[in-house]
Structure 1
């Protein structure tokens, strides 16, 4: 069972990236949302049509989504039923935690996978209903990552 549900790019210009993706591949986008995590205000959008989603994030300098050096592939996103166990499993395989949203009240963590030059994001399944309501309101629930070592 797969739990992969999105690929993310951080971008300095959300509208431009949306337009370019739309022109290149015909994807349709949800409405961009503005949110805050800690001291950072950022903008986020996902494609419509179900997994795998494409996510774009426009974040300020110094944030986990800083694109001041240019747009980049940032992470692959996976659902997990147990964020702590999933993070321990990744760390035991040499994929260290890079950033945690938990101190900011968000159940997700980024882990640095240097072999691909990007991160793996684990997102607690408790966030899935709100995600689906916002980005895929008519879609079915999505599977979660297997936590076995």
Structure 2
């Protein structure tokens, strides 16, 4: 993992639309389409299907605003706040193992259709949360913030 692999900061909020609007008004952020889909994830308590709704900024530095999902670690605590820092990973499994070696715990993982690790959310004992996303997903995820003009 390298600092230059960081590609977004994730914000979890109870009100996705208002949060995007405030960031647009205050910092002139512009947004890609809202994305909503159920995803299969492995959590500490077992496998689950979680309905994720989010939008990425087309403006950089890139933000991902995620609608709170009660009962999961995607739940908004105290309204809205920075949830994670997202990094591209050439080997999610190896990078997650390295973070575990450094004391991070795995909060959620998802597998790609071929069974390889697609993403992993890792949290340190100091509360720092990282999302490792396979670099193989970069071309498709870039569509979430592509210029549509």
Query: TM-score higher than 0.5 here?
Result: yes
Deviates more, 1:126-135 or 1:13-22: 126-135
Give the alignment of 1:30-41 within 5 angstroms. Answer: 30-38=32-40, 39-41=49-51
What's 1:92 paired with? Answer: 101
Contact 2:89–2:134 (Cα < 8 Å) also in 1: yes
* Contact kept? 1:49, 1:136, Cα under 8 Å: no
Question: Contact 2:33–2:144 (CA<8 Å) still a contact in 1?
Answer: no
Counterpart for residue 8 of structure 2: 6
Are the equivalent residues in 2 in contact too, given 1:73–1:118 (CA < 8 A)? no
TM-score by length of 2: 0.81
Describe the SS at the equivalent of 1:18: helix
Aligned residues: 136
Q: Which residue of 2 aligns with 1:112?
A: 123
Contact 1:61 1:68 in 2 (8 A): no
Alignment partner, residue 146 of structure 1: none
Aligned to 1:123: 133
- What are structure 1's unaligned runs of at least 5 residues? 139-149
Structure 2: runs of 5+ lacking an equivalent: 41-48
After TM superposition, the score normalised by the length of structure 1 is 0.81
Structure 1's consecutive aligned runs of 4 or more residues displaced over 3 angstroms after TM superposition are: 103-106
Partner of 1:45: 55
